[in-house]
Amino acid sequence: MQAKIKKQVRQALLRGPADSVTIKRDDSIVVKRGYFYRHTQTVEGFAMRCQAALKDAGIETHIEKKSDHWNVWPRDSWFEATLRLASWGVA
């Protein structure tokens, strides 16, 4: 993935739904958001918000994986979504 696209991806997600963004060597985008209470939020909704934030930035993606890492208090809980670019022609 080009450095310019990585920067756009990171900016779009951190401005919106994400607490952290990691772009792996295989170009998968791992997005995390911590929570204390879910308040009707779901991991599906989180993944869709991530995808929408990137679409608003002109970057088409598809959801590869999503998971809810729930832990009993006082440990942290978080949503995690793995996205991948839909095409390499993204500018």
Percent of the chain with pLDDT over 70: 95
Cα 51 from Cα 63, distance rounded (Å): 7
For residue 88, pLDDT beyond 60: no
Average pLDDT over residues 8-24: 96
Question: Is 54 in contact with 61 (CB distance < 8 Å)?
Answer: yes
Residue from 56, 51, 43, 53 nearest 85 by CA: 51
For residue 89, pLDDT beyond 70: no
Cα 84 from Cα 50, distance rounded (Å): 11
For residue 67, pLDDT beyond 50: yes
Question: Is 12 in contact with 54 (CB distance < 8 Å)?
Answer: yes
Domain ranges of the chain: 3-85
Structure tokens at 31: 């997005």
